């Protein structure tokens, strides 16, 4: 549970509705609401939330409440919603200054960021925020295949992801890039894996975080899947895709598969554990091939993500 949830809610604290699994023990601070893009066909996270920048006074109110109730506990902070860098850098710096003043034991402050926003921000602006105490950015790559990105209306190109993530690293940020297995469907799984590896190799992020596609009710991709226009890969095909992706990586990243949607939990530093993780994937793949019940269990696990 996020820090302060039960104590801060009665104070009118506005919690972001989503955060990465790695931020489970962080204080959650909402600076924006919704997503400025909000057109991805696979995502239902902010569909009912119009994008807006919260007034600074509201954000300061939440920071002060957290400082009064949770100051001794907070070591990490996650700032939401989906693209906090959309606010003016000067305002972001004021928020960071207030955070560190009210919560003096902070060790890390992270946020979601769109690659296109990173591309548009100048290196000086990004350095400005990094020096102000923002430390890590979570960025949705999803796929490195341009055709897949167009199909899911991601609103960004592989080249823009490379440019944005590279600039963020140059500014001193830790960068997490997210990949969605299965997003290319059965038709483009190979291109999806190979081109995603190419983009990851070009950016060499600090973290590569793996998710598996789960068609979400209320999204265009769900309708495409339900009506047979999109073929969801089988568990065997998902593992083959992940194996191909991992085998092509030449990075110094932490590879993390830490989500309920993933069949096989994996975590290891690359390149040190690359061989071991490839062997784990091969063993899982062989087990799936000889045990059809694992596919059924996988489908049941995916169904849980609808709840």
> Could you tell me the residue ranges of all domains in the chain?
1-112, 138-307
| Residues 6 or more apart whose Cβ sits within 8 Å of residue 171 | 123, 126, 127, 129, 130
pLDDT for residue 307 = 47
Pairwise CA distance, residues 221 & 257, whole Å: 23
pLDDT for residue 301 = 66
Which residue is associated with the tokens 């983009």? 199
pLDDT for residue 139 = 98
| Residues 6 or more apart whose Cβ sits within 8 Å of residue 161 | 115, 139, 141, 144, 177, 199, 203
Pairwise CA distance, residues 1 & 199, whole Å: 34
Pairwise CA distance, residues 90 & 147, whole Å: 37
Q: Are 285 and 241 in contact (CB under 8 A)?
A: no
Q: Which of 161, 133, 162, 157 is nearest to 147 (CA)?
A: 157
The token pair at 171 is 């500014």
Q: Which of 228, 217, 222, 232 is nearest to 184 (CA)?
A: 232
pLDDT for residue 4 = 66
Helix or strand or coil: residue 211? strand
Cα end-to-end distance, the chain, whole Å = 18
CA of 12: how far to CAs of 6, 65, 66, in Å?
Answer: 11, 9, 11
Q: Are 40 and 150 in contact (CB under 8 A)?
A: no
pLDDT for residue 269 = 98
Pairwise CA distance, residues 218 & 238, whole Å: 23
pLDDT for residue 7 = 81
Average pLDDT per consecutive 10 residues, the chain (307 residues; last block may be shorter): 71 90 93 96 93 96 94 94 94 97 97 96 96 98 98 97 98 98 96 98 98 92 94 94 98 92 92 97 93 81 59
CA angle 59, 78, 36 (to 5 degrees): 70
Pairwise CA distance, residues 85 & 139, whole Å: 11
What kind and span of H or E run contains 12? none
Helix or strand or coil: residue 159? helix
CATH 3.30.750.200 assigned to 138-307: yes
What kind and span of H or E run contains 138? strand 136-142
């Amino acid at each position: 549970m996020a820090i302060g949830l039960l104590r801060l809610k009665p104070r009118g604290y506005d919690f972001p509705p989503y955060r990465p699994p790695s931020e489970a023990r962080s204080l959650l601070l909402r600076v924006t609401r919704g997503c400025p893009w909000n057109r991805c066909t696979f995502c239902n996270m902010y569909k009912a939330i119009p994008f807006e920048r919260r007034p600074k006074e509201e954000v300061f109110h939440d920071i002060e409440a957290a400082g009064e109730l949770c100051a001794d506990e907070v070591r990490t902070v996650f700032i939401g919603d989906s693209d906090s860098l959309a606010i003016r850098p000067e305002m972001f710096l004021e928020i960071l200054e207030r955070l560190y003043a009210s919560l003096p034991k902070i060790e890390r402050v992270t946020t979601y960021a769109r690659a296109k926003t990173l591309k548009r921000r100048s290196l000086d602006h990004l350095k400005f925020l990094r020096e102000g105490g923002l430390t890590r950015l979570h960025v949705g790559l999803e796929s490195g295949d341009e055709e897949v990105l167009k199909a899911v209306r991601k609103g960004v190109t592989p080249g823009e992801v490379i440019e944005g993530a590279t600039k963020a690293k140059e500014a001193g940020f830790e960068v997490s890039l997210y990949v969605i297995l299965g997003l290319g469907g059965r038709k483009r799984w190979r291109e999806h894996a190979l081109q995603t590896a190419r983009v990851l190799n070009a950016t060499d992020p600090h973290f590569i975080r793996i998710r598996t596609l789960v068609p979400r009710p209320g999204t265009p991709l769900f309708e495409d899947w339900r009506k047979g226009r999109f073929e969801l890969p089988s568990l065997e095909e998902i593992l083959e895709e992940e194996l191909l992706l991992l085998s092509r990586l030449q990075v110094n990243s932490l590879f993390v598969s830490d989500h309920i949607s993933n069949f096989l939990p994996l975590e290891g530093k690359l390149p040190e554990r690359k061989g071991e993780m490839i062997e784990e994937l091969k063993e899982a793949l062989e087990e799936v091939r000889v045990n059809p019940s694992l596919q059924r269990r996988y489908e049941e696990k995916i169904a849980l993500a609808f709840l």
